Amino acid sequence: MNSKTKLLALAGMCFLSAVCSETASAQKKSKKTAATAAPAPTIPAPKKEGLKPFSEVITAKARTKNGLFKTYRVDDKWYFEIPDSLLNREMLVVTRLNKVPSGVSVGNQQYGGEELNDQVWQWERRGKQVFIRVPSYSVRADSTSDMYQSVKNSNLSTILASFEIKAYNKDTTGVVIDITDFYNGDVVAIGATDALRKAYKASALDAGRSYVDTIKTFPINIEVVTSKTYRSAESPIDNSIGAVTFEFNTSMLLLPKTPVKARLTDPRVGYFGQSQTDYGTDAQKAERTAYIHRWNLVPKDTAAYMRGELVEPVKPIVIYIDPATPKKWVPYLIQGINDWQVAFQEAGFKNAIIGKEAPTPAQDPDFSVEDSRYSVVRYFASNISNAYGPHVSDPRTGQILETHIGWYHNVMNLLRNWYFVQTAAVNPAARKAKFDDKQMGELIRFVSSHEIGHTLGLPHNFGSSYAYPVDSLRSKTFTNTHGTAPSIMDYARFNYIAQPGDGVTKLHPEIGEYDKWSIKWGYTWFPGNLTAKQERAKLDVWTIAKAGNPLYYYGRQGTSLDPRLQSEDLGDNAMKASTYGIANLKRILPNIEIWTYQKGEDFSDLKELYNEVITQYSRYMSHVRANVGGMSENFKTTDQKGTVYSYLSKAKQKEAITFFNTQLFTTPVWLINNEQLNKFDNGQILNKIKAVQTSTLGQLMAPSRIARLLDNEAKNGTANSYTLPELFTDLKTSVFSASRPDAFKRNLQRSYVETLTQLMTKEMDVPPGANSEGLASYGITPINVSLSDIRPLVRAELKSLLTLTKTRALAGDNLTKAHYDDLVIRINAVLFPKK
């Protein structure tokens, strides 16, 4: 489900969102010292002039805790004792919401446990002051490189805060500072984000209504809880209060002194990652290097591991379930975590990932779901239908350090709706308004597994579901073995292809062939002191061996260029799959009221699920639409044969238009069930159907798509490409097929003329420019409309339509004549504009 990351892998999924672009800057450090890292501190002999003795600052009534830093509380003052040994050490600082008032509504920043910010801090001492510096990892060079000093000079760390030294500790091996005002202050890095401030028009922090609640120190981390009140013009609770209060948890986690070895990214295998500019390589340019995000798994018994035996890791990935989670769902969430154990076996590990219930206060009084040492599935009491699986990583190497998965209560409603409209035609268990706990639990397990994939570093693989032939998804034998896609990281929901009588009962994805392969690629441990490039050479052999096998294909999220990379599609032919899907919707829609009947209830479920049928129908249109002007994208290295980009065949593109002419532009009257509509519809459903028709028509004629049609014709010739004139002819044949059109056809005809008008009179929103390459890679192919062949061809099409509409305006009833008269006027206004 949709993925979220900031130094996080952002989502993340999000289970809903199809956008997930997350690249954070990083720096690799191994045996060599990176330019941006401060050298080991040389601490001068302490000068105590002007400083109070330790006992006068930290008095006998101080409450003392030992940990990463010693912490002291004296009345309402809080102090850190920072040992010299930890000066200039890198520490990852993550601030999360801990508690929020009701009514907060800012995406991914509105529930306790959601992350707001992360930074790396270095505590530095100069004279009688201590500074917090925030290093940058966007550029680097090894200390042995000629570029080292130059990079160091142009990558100075910013100072976030300064503190006066209040005292030296008893043996002068550390200093004591007062951190009360800093943590209680208006510092964005450890408080409300700009998004929260803007949403509630927060002007400033009210220190009088803010305080440091607790500070807990542990061996490698410190957890600070603060309560902060901001003056607010739009309080989510009551504007008369003029303020909003949040509780924050800021974790400061000591990063490894010696960073783990990073693994270089490969676009042929999907991983979240982070990049940097490296000036220390032999490349004759400023080279970008990128590392994947992954947990550090090292075998306990390296000899057994090298013999091919499954070995437990030194430190497994442990993910706890929030104590706030309803008990009946805990086993399913845990199972979703443990499902990944089979994938880690491909990398040589057993028990590599473990789901656990959070310990009770009696079992572990120090356990906290905010503690950065623990990874947790956080359960949010929310009406948002979503879940996401972020992770926090070391910006130097990409090592994943922890995760706080967001699980919204109302994701169950989303699952109910999807499961109903995609499977109810073949699945009696889905034919109800409320599923039993076992059925819902299995769906929760499926989503849990998907989100855990994100926390392991895996992005969405939108190309995975294309690996399975459409007809294979109608086979009970095939689906029992393979599920619906080779990767649970695809947005391949439930099997909408299977038809009644097929006997298919396995209706959703599981950890599949691609998932096992990607974990093997990212987590296999290599012995010896190999460099990242030496490891990449070994991995490249594996990747090339898998090339060409669709089971192991990775297709990135976010591009509309390649029709294989669609959200929520199934099978290797969108036209065929969508035809099966529509056949099932035709079976489901007339039965919604019967299947969701609940005595004494209103028609809310009928309305919701009826709209879900239209939404699912619209999804099928988007799956097919991508085939027109579509290109396949297969990333390769120079030692691989074949093309990276190639256009779909002319026949495949024409097949897509034929689908639209049959399933969309021919009025889908089956969507109009008056017996049910009369129970809830107040005049909106017909307009929703028209919206699907006109939106699809407009997008088929979008400048970006036309740009690719023209490019294809120029490269491959008219005989081998689907051309713009053919598109116009094929669309017009269907849109203007009826001389006496119904309301839907009239709407489509006006939309067709309006779209042609826009092509004649408006430039593309994104004309060619500096970012053309980046836009084109996501399917937004820039084109200068006025200088292209678009307008001459559109003008010819409008002239043809003018002749047709003039003829039709002479016959028919009054409404038909008025309609075509109107089209004549519109077309004339474009072809013969008044000066």
The full length of the chain comes to 835
Quote the percentage of the chain above a pLDDT of 90. 69
For residue 757, the number of C-alpha atoms closer than 13 Å in the C-beta half-sphere is 17
Least confident among 12-21, 647-656, 810-819: 12-21
pLDDT per residue over 327-342, tens digit each?
Answer: 999 999 999 999 999 9
Bridge partners (DSSP) of residue 80 are 71, 177
Spatial distance between the Cα atoms of 587 and 595, rounded to a whole number of angstroms: 12
Q: Whole-angstrom Cα distance, residue 591 to residue 600?
A: 19
Q: Please provide the distance, in angstroms rounded to a whole number, between the alpha carbons at the two ends of the chain.
A: 54
Average pLDDT over residues 457-480: 96
What single DSSP character describes residue 7?
A: S
Helix (H, G, I), strand (E, B) or coil at 221: strand
Contact (Cβ atoms closer than 8 angstroms) between residue 121 and residue 224: no
Q: Is the confidence at residue 787, as pLDDT, over 80?
A: yes
Residue 372 binned pLDDT confidence (cut-offs 50, 70, 90): confident
State the average pLDDT over residues 733-740: 89
Instruction: Look at strands 317-321 and 353-357 and give their pairing.
Output: parallel
Both tokens assigned to 374: 């623990």
Q: Out of 1.10.150, 3.30.530, 3.40.390, 1.10.10, which CATH number does the structure's domain 302-552 have?
A: 3.40.390
Among 519, 299, 264, residue whose Cα is nearest residue 397: 264
**What pLDDT, in 10s, does the model give residues 427-464?**
999 999 999 999 999 999 999 999 999 999 999 999 99
Higher-confidence residue of 363 and 40: namely 363
Across 469-479, average pLDDT: 97
pLDDT value of residue 382: 76
Inform me whether the pLDDT recorded for 685 exceeds 80: yes
Average pLDDT over residues 383-393: 82
Q: Which comes out higher in pLDDT, residue 358 or 5?
A: 358
Cis peptide before 7 (omega within 30 of 0): yes
Amino acid at 8: L
| pLDDT range class, residue 16, cuts 50, 70, 90 | very low
**No. of H helices and E strands in the chain?**
24, 27
Domain spans of the chain, in order of start = 34-254, 302-552, 701-835
What's the mean pLDDT in 513-542?
A: 95
**In angstroms, what CA-CA distances link 524 with 305, 307, 318, 536?**
10, 14, 19, 12
The pLDDT-based confidence of 30 (bands split at 50, 70, 90) is very low
DSSP letter at 294?
A: B
Structural contact between residues 582 and 560, judged by C-beta atoms closer than 8 angstroms:
no
The reported pLDDT for the residue numbered 767 is: 59
**Residue at 400: amino acid letter:** I
Q: What does the pLDDT look like over 656-674, one tens digit per residue?
A: 999 999 999 999 999 999 9
Q: Which residues pair with 82 in a beta bridge?
A: 175
Task: Say if residues 128 and 75 touch (Cβ distance below 8 Å).
Answer: no
Question: Which pLDDT tens digit goes with each residue over 568-612?
Answer: 999 999 999 999 999 999 999 999 999 999 999 999 999 999 999
Pairing of β 317-321 and β 375-380: parallel
Report d(CA 421, CA 585) in Å as an integer.
Answer: 7
**Alpha helix positions (H), 387-512:** 411-423, 437-455, 476-482
Q: Over 70: is that where the pLDDT of 21 sits?
A: no
pLDDT tens track for 133-180: 998 775 444 544 444 444 445 456 789 999 999 999 888 889 999 999
Query: In this model, does residue 42 exceed pLDDT 80?
Result: no
State the pLDDT at residue 277.
Answer: 59
The whole-number pLDDT of residue 550 equals: 96
Residue 4 is predicted with a pLDDT of 37
